[in-house]
Amino acid sequence: MHRDVINAELQLLRPDHAPALLAFEEENRAYFAASVPDRGDAYFRDFAARHSALLAEQAAGICFFHVLVDDAGEVLGRVNFVDVADGSAELGYRIAERAAGQGLATRAVRQALDLAVSVYGLAELRAVTTYDNPGSRAVLARVGFVATGDVRLDGRPGTSCVLTL
């Protein structure tokens, strides 16, 4: 059954998101591993502790984690700000395979950029992506990121980008 991803809502990560978030990560593990470094077996084995740790980092203002949730409560994506310091953070995001190619990543990242300025007081964001992930590179370009140099991610060539908000 195809769900209407247009009704997906970006929500700040909460404790009750854990089951849907774990399902999202498990269902999309192979899909994500094709373009970003795999999280590894320990991530899934120790998910409950990891989720609690993320919530603690969020409460401390070190990171801000968001999930994109559809009307049925299913997680369709994530948009995160990590290593928040001095008005800057790194942006990371991932969208479920079944929701890819529908503009959802661009919409979710734009919503998160609004929060970055209005709620978190950020002035600059950094992001990295591999060259073999054209969808991610396109999202970053659409929302205004500018390439700043080459990087290697898990041995794969990629680019670093920056956005001044």
Q: What is the pTM of this model?
A: 0.92
Range of the domain at 158: 5-164
Give the pLDDT of the chain (165 residues) as one tens digit per residue. Answer: 444 445 899 999 999 999 999 999 999 999 998 887 789 999 999 999 999 999 999 999 999 999 999 999 999 999 999 999 999 999 999 999 999 988 999 999 999 999 999 999 999 999 999 998 899 999 999 999 999 999 998 888 999 999 999
* Overall number of domains in the chain: 1
Distance CA 106, CA 142 (A): 7
CATH number of domain containing 92: 3.40.630.30
